[in-house]
């Protein structure tokens, strides 16, 4: 449907074009996800793998809604500094989970569009609802593990500052810090790679359709 295509364009701009999120793009993304969720509940939308991926993409903005509401509550009730530090780290991880999960899902949608355009018959057995659901679960499991590592690193930094004294604490601090640093570097380069890959895929699709 045209409305879902417009929603995907909005999400591509929000996560793969803009260098950083802002209040306007976040609000438009939330409204777009709400609208897409309503559309996907309609009987007119067939249950296909693409619809499963878009549905997971729309539900990812629940994390943004939770983060926004929590920030408002913290500001309203003026929580203590210790709880605020932990909550702030948690909310930042929620926003990161939304961003990384959405980027991966958008890339899956782009890859599926590539398969539909160039190898529709050969890829039909892979483009199933079951495989789409498994892909979504795998992606969100990876993103959850990533955020758990970053949150653990943040907590260890906060509890061990300025320098951990216990041997086990030192060991955990060193392992989590190194792993988190490597993962941050990996996700940074992966984000660049996904941007390039998405541009290439839609470039190929556009010229393929134009030449028909």
Number of domains within the chain: 1
Domain boundaries, position 22: 1-210
* Residue 175 pLDDT level (bands cut at 50, 70, 90): confident
CA dist., res. 148 & res. 30, Å (int)? 24
* Residue 152 pLDDT level (bands cut at 50, 70, 90): confident
Mean pLDDT of the chain: 84
CA dist., res. 197 & res. 192, Å (int)? 9
Q: What's residue 33's pLDDT? A: 93
Comparison of pLDDT for 186 and 89, the residue scoring more? 186
Q: What's residue 174's pLDDT? A: 76
85 pLDDT more than 70: no
Comparison of pLDDT for 164 and 159, the residue scoring more? 159
77 pLDDT more than 80: no
Instruction: Report the pLDDT averaged over residues 90-106.
Output: 91
Q: Is there a contact between 32 and 110 (Cβ–Cβ < 8 Å)?
A: no
């Amino acid at each position: 449907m045209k409305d879902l295509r417009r929603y995907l364009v909005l999400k591509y701009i929000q996560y793969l074009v803009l260098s950083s999120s802002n209040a306007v793009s976040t609000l438009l993304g939330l409204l777009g996800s709400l609208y897409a969720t309503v559309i996907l509940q309609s009987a007119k939308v067939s249950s296909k793998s693409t619809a499963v991926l878009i549905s997971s993409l729309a539900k990812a903005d629940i994390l943004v809604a939770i983060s926004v509401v929590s920030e408002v509550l913290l500001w309203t009730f003026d929580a203590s500094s210790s709880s605020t530090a932990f909550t702030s780290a948690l909310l930042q991880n929620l926003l990161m989970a939304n961003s990384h999960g959405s980027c991966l899902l958008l890339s899956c949608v782009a890859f599926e569009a590539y398969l539909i355009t160039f190898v529709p018959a050969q890829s039909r057995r892979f483009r199933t609802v079951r495989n789409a659901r498994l892909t979504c679960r795998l992606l969100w499991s990876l993103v959850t593990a990533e955020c758990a590592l970053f949150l653990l690193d943040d907590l260890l930094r906060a509890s061990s500052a300025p320098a951990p004294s216990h041997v086990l604490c030192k060991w955990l601090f060193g392992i989590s810090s190194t792993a988190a640093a490597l993962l941050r570097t990996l996700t940074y380069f992966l984000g660049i790679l996904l941007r390039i890959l998405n541009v290439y895929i839609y470039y190929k699709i556009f010229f393929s359709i134009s030449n028909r």
